[in-house]
Amino acid sequence: MKAVHNLLDTIRPHFAEGGKLSKLWVVYDSLETFAFTPGHATKNGTHIRDGVDLKRTMFMVILALIPALMFGTWNQGHQYLLSIGEIAPTDPMMTALWDKLFIGAVKVLPLVVVSYGVGLGIEFLFAGMRGHSINEGYLVSGMLIPLIMPVDCPLWMVALAVAFAVIIAKEVFGGTGMNILNVALTARAFLFFAYPKQLSGEIWIHQVKASAEAGLLADGYTGATALGYLASTVGKGLDEPAVTGVMSMFGAQGMFSFSNSLLGLIPGSIGETSALAILLGAALLIWTGIGSWKIMSSFLAGGLVMGFLFNLLGLNAYMTLPAIHQVVMGGFMFGMVFMATDPVSAAQTERGKWIYGFFGGFLSIMIRVFNPAYPEGVMMAILFMNVMAPLIDHYVIEANIGKREKRALAAQSAPA
């Protein structure tokens, strides 16, 4: 490895100030520090430093995303083959494993490449302009973005969304660590509002429209997601045939049964479908302490509480869906584990995290059920709570300040 480092040392002058390639210093610097933790020794202050740095932290999040990524890739192939009747829902999961993975990879990999390519490109540009080194934040955002995209989302839209999110949500605020909104969710929200028509309906299963036109589509497959179906029941009577038809899909034998939703064998954004794969990642994040268990658990509690309240109300078919079924559908789990816990945009005080998480989960289910135009309530809820997080922190800190002021007053009035 010494040889590699010597090589880096010899080409360094070209990139250093005054060198031919000095404009590319950021690129050189980020690659060098990626391969070799620099031999920067501490000055004064603490002479020893913990081994953990932002690179390792971000890498742990990527590791936590791998189960969802792998499963999502497989599931896109699975859904495609199901939709054209190539396989039956009763077939074992390993049937046509390589076909499924191949189809999934062909769809997912380009999304990942576009997300990283565009996002990192912009990051390099801004770092170069500002003379900063590259922050690692986008390594995670760049993986999150493809995982919350519908499989047939056009690549140009992804590129546009990434550019919007990185520039507007992050760089204008000063880069990694300074943003108010979660970057990945901003990308998703951008698409949701900028291209509502393209982003609804028929892009959740690969080529579902083409299959339908060719008359290949298997019975019951329309390419809509669980939340899309449920949204269609709102405003209708509980026993209308259309409603009972939809609700039967959520029964034990239905396409969106609890077990299918938990395992993730349903259409949806690439990474969001499998609650199980997401919870595997959550276990790693909680264990390493990188994802806040407080946010995750209170988020879950908030969602369940709202779900139970709806169960009690039972005003429409959507409300009657068991709370536990609500939280394994749609983006709830993915949002809970990977989006709400983003330390930069979440509440930063420990008590604030409980409040932030609870309302995040609570609002997710509420928005989802109350407003069928926004089936994905999680995105709205988390972005809303991102905006609210500083306010929550403010009151938590005010309480601490108040305590200190009270103590000072008591000391003043006490006899010396």
Partner 1 sequence: MTRTIRIKKGADIRLKGRPSPLVDRAPFATFFAVQPPNYLGIVPKLEVKEGVHVKAGSPLFHSKENTEVKFLSPVSGVVSQVLRGEKRRILAVVVESDGKNESQAFAPIDPEAEDRQTLVSAIAERGFFALIEQRPFATIANPSDVPRSIHVSGFDSAPLAADMEVVLAGREAAFQTGIHTLRKLANGSNVQLGLRAGQSFYNAIDGIDRYVFDGPHPTGNVGVQIHHTCPINKGEVAWTMHAEDVANLGETLTSGAYCAKRTIALGGSECEEPRHIQTLLGSAISSLVGSVNDEDVRIISGNPLTGDRTSNNGFLGGLHHQVCLLPEGNKPKFLLTDGWLGMGFDKFSLSKSYPTWLLPKSKEFIMDTCNNGEERAFVVTGQYEPVFPFDIFPVQLLKSILANDIDAMEKLGIYEVAPEDFALCEYACTSKIAVQSIIRSGLDMMKKELG
CB of residue 136 to partner 1, shortest distance in Å = 8
Tokens standing for residue 381: 């809820």
Q: Tell whether residue 177 is a contact of partner 1 (CB under 8 A).
A: yes
Is 152 strand, coil or helix?
coil
| Contact region with partner 1 (CB under 8 A), list: 40-48, 114-122, 250-258, 303-311 | 40-48
Q: How far, in Å, CA of 346 to CA of 383, rounded?
A: 10
Q: How far, in Å, CA of 165 to CA of 214, rounded?
A: 37
Provide the mask over 294-323, with x wherever binding to partner 1 is found by CB under 8 A and - wherever it is not: ------------------------------
Q: How far, in Å, CA of 186 to CA of 136, rounded?
A: 18
The values of phi and psi at residue 314, to 5°, are 55, 40
Is 376 strand, coil or helix?
coil
Nearest to 27 by CA among 119, 116, 128: 128
Q: Tell whether residue 412 is a contact of partner 1 (CB under 8 A).
A: yes
Query: Residues 343 to 402: which contact partner 1 by CB under 8 A?
Result: 343-344, 346, 348-350, 353, 393, 397, 400-401
User: Contacting partner 1 (CB under 8 A), which of 56, 93, 167, 235?
Assistant: 56
Q: What is the DSSP string of 214-277?
A: TT-PPTT--S--HHHHHHTTTTS-TT-HHHHHHHHTTSTTSTT-HHHHHHT-S-SSTTTS-HHH
Q: Tell whether residue 23 is a contact of partner 1 (CB under 8 A).
A: no
Q: How far, in Å, CA of 106 to CA of 119, rounded?
A: 21
User: What is the Rg, in whole angstroms, of the alpha carbon atoms belonging to the chain?
Assistant: 24
Is 358 strand, coil or helix?
helix
CB of residue 12 to partner 1, shortest distance in Å = 12
Q: Tell whether residue 88 is a contact of partner 1 (CB under 8 A).
A: no
User: Contacting partner 1 (CB under 8 A), which of 15, 108, 136, 361?
Assistant: 136
Q: Tell whether residue 36 is a contact of partner 1 (CB under 8 A).
A: yes
User: Contacting partner 1 (CB under 8 A), which of 196, 289, 314, 390?
Assistant: 289
CB of residue 56 to partner 1, shortest distance in Å = 5
CB of residue 52 to partner 1, shortest distance in Å = 4
CB of residue 403 to partner 1, shortest distance in Å = 7
Q: Tell whether residue 45 is a contact of partner 1 (CB under 8 A).
A: yes
Q: How far, in Å, CA of 347 to CA of 350, rounded?
A: 8
| Contact region with partner 1 (CB under 8 A), list: 47-55, 73-81, 182-190, 269-277 | 47-55
**74 and 206 Cβ atoms separated by less than 8 Å:** no
Tokens standing for residue 357: 């998480």
Closer residue to partner 1 in complex, CB, 100/353: 353
Q: How far, in Å, CA of 184 to CA of 152, rounded?
A: 18
CB of residue 44 to partner 1, shortest distance in Å = 6
Q: Tell whether residue 288 is a contact of partner 1 (CB under 8 A).
A: yes
Q: Which residues bind partner 1 (CB under 8 A)?
A: 1, 4-5, 33-57, 59-60, 133, 135-137, 174-178, 287-290, 292, 343-344, 346, 348-350, 353, 393, 397, 400-401, 403-405, 407-408, 411-412
